[in-house]
Structure 1
Amino acid sequence: MDMAVIELSRLQFALTAMYHFLFVPLTLGLSFMLVIMESVYVITKRPIWRVITRFWGRLFGINFVLGVATGLTMEFEFGTNWAYYAHYVGDIFGAPLAIEGLMAFFLEATMVGVMFFGWDRLSRVQHLFVTLLVALGTNLSALWILIANGWMQNPVGAAFNPETMRMEVTSFKEVLFNPVAQAKFVHTVSAGYVCAATFVMGVSAIYLLRGKWTNVARRSMMVASAFGLASALSVVVLGDESGYALTDNQKMKLASIEAMWETEPAPAAITLIGLPDVAGRTTHGAIKLPYVMGIIGTRSLSGKIDGIEELVLRADERIHSGIIAYDAVEKLKQDRGNIAARAAFEAHKRDIGFALLLKRYMPDPRQANDGQILKAAWDTVPNVPVMFFLFRGMAALGFGFIAFFAMAFYCASACRFSKRWFLKIAVFMIPLPWLAIEAGWVLAEIGRQPWAVDGVLPTFLGASSLTVPQIWATIIGFTALYGTLAVIEIRLMIAAIRKGPEEHHEPMAAAQGFAPLPAE
């Protein structure tokens, strides 16, 4: 295998996934904010709320189109760049993607058209129902994608079939109700809600600072402050639930996030700050908070959080076990009636993926010695410094959003957003949710390495038979295309924001206000 091909394939997928994920959170959050705004319009029958809903709906539409266009590319990449991955686990991974396309995507895409062109053709209640379907379709789309990704993190409901040499579904119910997938879904959509609320706050703050469309801006900020505070609190609470899920399903990821090299006595402390040293297998200058990690990870004062070194030794044991399963599969290829080989496979089949880690160093894992097996076991440790600092950066931003929206919630009643210092903070906050979300996504994916599917298929075995020039050509092509799309997206969003919440057939006297804010 050519590791350059593997790493470039990972780079290409990371670039396309992270670019696509710039649009997803805003779409998730704005969809439900539109439902809230339009509900107020239906209840109060005040035209200004229709103006508000249509304005943010236009920005939602621009973002939605770019999200769909960039999302389709990734699904094709599973066939072009990760062909063996698609072959090996396609029976399980393909089902959620297919359902997402057939159900959620078509519901979402169809209802978006009705939402935009149905304002004058539907009653208020009917149009609100359509907007609600758009929001549900958007979030259902995310659900099925995260069920697929959650299975990669925690491959339940599936087993390796030595006759077909592929992973096959044993329980779709387990795939669907995978605890990792459920935790990832609620955490991800909550982060999207925070992103949308921050965006609405920031754009509205720009209007207030310039003294334009102040009635629209203040009402938008009132909705965003309440929605954002609830969402920011949810992100932290649900992030805690994700940490608890890692204790059972991805112990190495949790230990790497904490740079916990050795198993600590229960309950483990959480490291607030420090400098991980991979070579020395220690963390310099660590400042710890007692008990917290044990409570987060085990919901008790007696539960143990395993350290990296202990988990490596377990991986070593599982590689030895996986070699037995691998040998049994090779024998079953020659004689499917071999009862002893079948029994050996059934006893050790859970670990066959660990034996595949050795294929990075040799074609036949059965030829490995103890030193090579231990080396492969250490490959199960992801990039600890990256994990450590990304998590702390993401967590700091998460608590920062809680403080920001708490301040906004207070300002909504105390000063009706008239303080210029707060409005400047709101503008400054606009890009921060995307930084936190991208950090969380990278954290989740790097933490799974070296696995494409945790404990089942190493990443280096999943790639297609491509050449380095071929991958560089597609990376350059995607970068140029996506760069162009990014320019178009930003120009369209800025143009829509500059135009403001105007409708050519409605008087805007109720929506516009040009009195500048008092100086402080």
Structure 2
Amino acid sequence: MDLDIVALSRLQFAITALYHFIFVPLTLGLSVLLAIMETVYVMTGRVIWRQMTKFWGVLFGINFVLGVATGIVMEFQFGMNWSYYSHYVGDIFGAPLAIEGLMAFFLEATFVGLFFFGWDKLTKVGHLAATWAVALGSNFSALWILIANGWMQNPVGSAFNPQTMRMEITDFAAVLFNPVAQAKFVHTVSAGYVAASLFVLGVSAWYLLKGRHIELAKRSMTVAASFGLAASLSVVVLGDESGYLSSEHQKMKLAAIEAMWHTEPAPAAFTLFGFPDEKARETHYAIRIPAVMGLIGTRSLTTELPGIKDLVDLAKVRIKEGVIAFDALQTIRAAGTTGAVPEAARKAFEDNGTRLGYGLLLKRYVDDPRTATPEQIDKAAWDTVPMVGPLFWTFRIMVALGMLFILLTAVFFVLSARRRLDRYPMLLWIAVFSIPLPWVAIECGWFVAEVGRQPWIIEGVLPTAAAVSSLGAGTVLFTIIGFVAIYTVLLVIEMKLMLAAIRNGPEPDHQPEAPLVPANLVAAE
């Protein structure tokens, strides 16, 4: 069997990313929930809140360790499976990753130790500061990683150097404040907050059903329902912002998500349901809601959203411009060793250099893009269309689950306010069985974000097929099998440890209850 090194490399990264992202959302959300719970403890002196912080902290610690272990492997893959990518954009992509390691990871790891071992060695306020530092470090890690990923989606603040054949930073502030990166950051961490809230809500509901640790469970559910409702609402708002930015920077992704084969009159309708047919290039039995997609994607009723076929026609034009840029680049590189660069070549590259990546799409069909036939250009243009059917359905699964999370957290928020959390066993069971659903939504979101960008590893700049290392397919296949085996074992271990900690419940905390009345007044009485 002829194994495709590009497909295998993508599969390996996808598998390791999917495994890693099982642990990340819970780390992000639990770190903030721990800080909230301990803040209440410091403010009230009630020992139950310290007990809650310690209990959920154990579950956080188990998850944190495995998240770190799986995350390190992902960074090594850039130099192993994606060496040309690392060479091409290392000056830009490496900077956020280095800052993440030096600033966020060390901050988080240092204060995690203080959180677990500093309860009896630090003051209340000192330990609370360490807990908030853990939460801050967790979110800083996500920030820098998503700045790097956001640049891949919208490569701003950079330029291609034809002499070094590398992308170089021209404006670090533009990379840092990239609107796509900022939207992805707040959307991703909010999804993590939802995952942690549903986790705490579900575990606490199980305790209520079993009649165990009632006070801890009710207070935990109150915090989780309140925090989860706010996070669920923010996910929807921020997801809408991501959709709007996609209409500006990733039009093909948005068109594929909507299975919008043709440009529709403004404002475009939202396809609630349908069956995308990639062979016929149409969507069967579509049920559409008028104007909604236009409002989401353009914030107006008069701006069109281009369809897939029109975007493919635009890609053909850009591929031809990319061929001109490729030809000029060969002349510039040859002149670099023989003398001055011809002015015509310099001008051609200045005019068309930003389309070089489109020219490189032809490498799949011909060694020299300048010799490509019209049929090969047409094939390369259609390669810019990602998998429409899977994107269409995963996006709708994600949205449907998001609506469910709002409803679920709102119900428990109301029950908490009315002090009726234990009155409806059926709702408690729904909360228990909903624990894995945020991870389903999060993995769907990851799929939409990353598969929707294909065939680009850097949107419009570098095709994925051009970024892989020169490895044997057998080698990559062997490592895929190894990673799946090891990560599955780690996942099973984590699940057993988490379930054991939940079954055992919180440890008794013999810390004396802080008096609600100052000691001097008690003595005076």
TM-score by length of 1: 0.96
Q: How does 1:208-357 map onto structure 2 within 5 Å?
A: 208-336=208-336, 337=340, 338-357=342-361
- Counterpart residue number, 1:417: 421
Q: Distance in 2 between matches of 1:278 and 1:51?
A: 55
Alpha-carbon deviation of 1:504? 6.4
2:27 pairs with 1:27:
yes
Per-residue displacement from partner, 1:179-229 (whole Å, max 9, x unpaired)? 111111110000000000000000001111110100000000000000000
- Counterpart residue number, 1:362: 366
Q: Distance in 2 between matches of 1:290 and 1:478?
A: 46
Per-residue displacement from partner, 1:102-146 (whole Å, max 9, x unpaired)? 100000000100111111111111111111111010001001000
Amino acid of the residue matched to residue 120 of structure 1? Answer: D
Q: Runs of 5+ in structure 1 lacking a partner? A: 509-520
Amino acid of the residue matched to residue 358 of structure 1? Answer: L
- Counterpart residue number, 1:149: 149
Deviates more, 1:494-503 or 1:448-457: 494-503
Q: Distance in 2 between matches of 1:306 and 1:489?
A: 46
The question of whether the paired residues in 1 share the 8 Å contact of 2:88 and 2:166 is answered with yes
Q: Distance in 1 between matches of 2:317 and 2:3?
A: 26
- Counterpart residue number, 1:474: 479
- Counterpart residue number, 1:515: none
- Counterpart residue number, 2:122: 122
Q: Distance in 1 between matches of 2:293 and 2:32?
A: 34
Q: Distance in 1 between matches of 2:447 and 2:512?
A: 47
Q: Distance in 2 between matches of 1:42 and 1:504?
A: 15
- Counterpart residue number, 1:513: none
Amino acid of the residue matched to residue 200 of structure 2? Answer: V
The question of whether the paired residues in 2 share the 8 Å contact of 1:244 and 1:298 is answered with yes
Q: Which of the residues 442, 451, 470 maps onto 1:446?
A: 451
Q: How does 1:181-192 map onto structure 2 within 5 Å?
A: 181-192=181-192
Deviates more, 1:472-481 or 1:310-319: 472-481
Query: Secondary structure of the residue that 2:228 maps to in structure 1?
Result: helix
Alpha-carbon deviation of 1:503? 3.6
Q: Distance in 2 between matches of 1:488 and 1:421?
A: 30
Per-residue displacement from partner, 1:237-263 (whole Å, max 9, x unpaired)? 100000000010000000000000010
Per-residue displacement from partner, 1:277-303 (whole Å, max 9, x unpaired)? 111111111111111101111111111
Q: Runs of 5+ in structure 2 lacking a partner? A: 514-525
The question of whether the paired residues in 1 share the 8 Å contact of 2:150 and 2:184 is answered with yes
- Counterpart residue number, 1:40: 40
Q: Distance in 2 between matches of 1:247 and 1:127?
A: 45
Amino acid of the residue matched to residue 248 of structure 1? Answer: E
Amino acid of the residue matched to residue 472 of structure 2? Answer: T
Q: Distance in 1 between matches of 2:375 and 2:483?
A: 41
Query: Secondary structure of the residue that 1:335 maps to in structure 2?
Result: helix
The question of whether the paired residues in 2 share the 8 Å contact of 1:3 and 1:460 is answered with no
Q: Distance in 1 between matches of 2:236 and 2:311?
A: 27
Alpha-carbon deviation of 1:415? 4.4
Per-residue displacement from partner, 1:323-365 (whole Å, max 9, x unpaired)? 1111001001111422211111001111000000000011100
Query: Secondary structure of the residue that 2:4 maps to in structure 1?
Result: helix
Amino acid of the residue matched to residue 21 of structure 1? Answer: F
Query: Secondary structure of the residue that 2:283 maps to in structure 1?
Result: strand
Q: Distance in 1 between matches of 2:47 and 2:509?
A: 14
- Counterpart residue number, 1:194: 194
2:41 pairs with 1:71:
no
Deviates more, 1:335-344 or 1:32-41: 335-344
Amino acid of the residue matched to residue 416 of structure 2? Answer: A
Amino acid of the residue matched to residue 428 of structure 1? Answer: F
Alpha-carbon deviation of 1:416? 2.8
Q: Which of the residues 363, 377, 388 maps onto 1:373?
A: 377
Q: Distance in 2 between matches of 1:412 and 1:83?
A: 53
The question of whether the paired residues in 1 share the 8 Å contact of 2:78 and 2:85 is answered with yes
The question of whether the paired residues in 1 share the 8 Å contact of 2:3 and 2:473 is answered with no
Deviates more, 1:411-420 or 1:467-476: 411-420
The question of whether the paired residues in 1 share the 8 Å contact of 2:51 and 2:509 is answered with no
Per-residue displacement from partner, 1:379-429 (whole Å, max 9, x unpaired)? 000000011000000000000100001111111123431111111010011
Q: How does 1:69-108 map onto structure 2 within 5 Å?
A: 69-108=69-108
The question of whether the paired residues in 1 share the 8 Å contact of 2:275 and 2:285 is answered with yes
Percent identity at matched positions? 64
Q: Which of the residues 468, 471, 478 maps onto 1:463?
A: 468
Report the number of matched residues: 507
Q: Distance in 2 between matches of 1:54 and 1:220?
A: 12
Query: Secondary structure of the residue that 1:212 maps to in structure 2?
Result: coil
- Counterpart residue number, 2:517: none
Q: Distance in 2 between matches of 1:38 and 1:415?
A: 22
The question of whether the paired residues in 2 share the 8 Å contact of 1:229 and 1:409 is answered with yes
- Counterpart residue number, 1:502: 507
Amino acid of the residue matched to residue 437 of structure 2? Answer: L
TM-score by length of 2: 0.95
Query: Secondary structure of the residue that 2:452 maps to in structure 1?
Result: helix
Query: Secondary structure of the residue that 2:159 maps to in structure 1?
Result: strand
